[in-house]
Every structure is written in C-alpha cells, then in structure tokens.
Amino acid sequence: MRCKLPYSRAWCIGERNGELESLLDAYKFSNVRAAYKALADLLDLSLSNLPSSVYVIPVPSIATHIRQRGYDHTALIAKEFAHKRKLTYLPCLERKTNTVQRGKGRGKRIKQAKNAFTCHAQLDDNGVYLLIDDVVTTGATVRYGAKALKVAGAKDVWVASISRQPLD
C-alpha cells in the first residue's frame, strides 16, 4: 500500500555525492557560510518557471544546529532563492522537537518527523507553497513539513531539495 503524499510536485538537484556533496558538507559542517549563494543558484537553475505567487518556506533546522552554526542553513538558501526569483519568503514552519535525523534508519526518521513541525501562520488555500530542504533521505521531513502546511490551510504544497541521500 502506498501513502498519498501531502505535496503535488517535487524537485531534487541531484544525488548527494561528488561536488554537490562537497559543497553541502562545507556549508553545513565546515562553516563555509557563503556557500548558501551557490546552493540557491543551483536551485534557481534547476527549478522550472514558478508562478510569481509562490511562497518559499524553508524546512527549519533544529535549534542545536542553529546554535552550532550561528545560522539556519536551509533558511539562508530558501531566502536567497526567494530573493533571486522575487518570490515571497515565508519562514512559517517551526520545529517542535530537537531530534537529529542524521545517522538514523528509515523507521526512526519517520517516527521523529511525524510530530516535528507546526505552522504558526494561517495559510491561504489559493496559494502555492514551496518547501525547501537541503537533503532528502527517506522523505519523512518534507512529508511531515508539508503536512503541517496543509493543516495550516495550504491547498497546494511543492517540495524542492538540493540533494537526495540514499539510506545505506
């Protein structure tokens, strides 16, 4: 049995390997903050023409990682992408948990993501909401992030990620 996804369109720049992996790792783990512009450029090149009415929403990082880095890495990418495309940046998703997904198996990731998000805005059911994440592994984070947007009133949610990381 397959589950119905809470988003209608999805894009991914590529698999998390080679130069894309190096760029992401430098950005996330070596504090190469300026890399967000290159990552936003990759999104800009990879996504088709979007309606000007799209709202860009980052998947929020956990508070521990924001404190470690000094910034929310996905929010910087999403904000820069929105700026490039002249779209509305709407950071309305909030983390309810502070659990780390990295290194976890499929079942644990799904369980952790299930109640991880809330949306603190009432969304317009006529709007299109583009949820941006850096790495998609099982899809649980974007699935439950999109679900939180739907609960807040979104009718149409799209998803874009920088990379896809297969589970080992």
Give tens-digit pLDDT for 82-91. 999 999 999 9
Give tens-digit pLDDT for 91-129. 999 987 666 555 555 555 555 666 778 899 999 989 999
Specify whether the CB–CB gap between 168 and 138 falls below 8 A. Answer: no
The CATH-assigned architecture of domain 9-164 is: 3-Layer(aba) Sandwich (3.40)
Q: Name the pTM for this structure.
A: 0.89
Q: Fill in the DSSP letter of residue 3.
A: P
Say if residue 3's pLDDT is above 70.
no
Specify whether the CB–CB gap between 117 and 145 falls below 8 A. Answer: yes
Listed in order, strand segments (DSSP E) in 6-155 are: 9-15, 54-58, 88-89, 93-95, 117-119, 128-136
Band of the pLDDT at 51, cuts 50, 70, 90? very high
Domain ranges in the chain?
A: 9-164
- What pLDDT was estimated at residue 165? 83
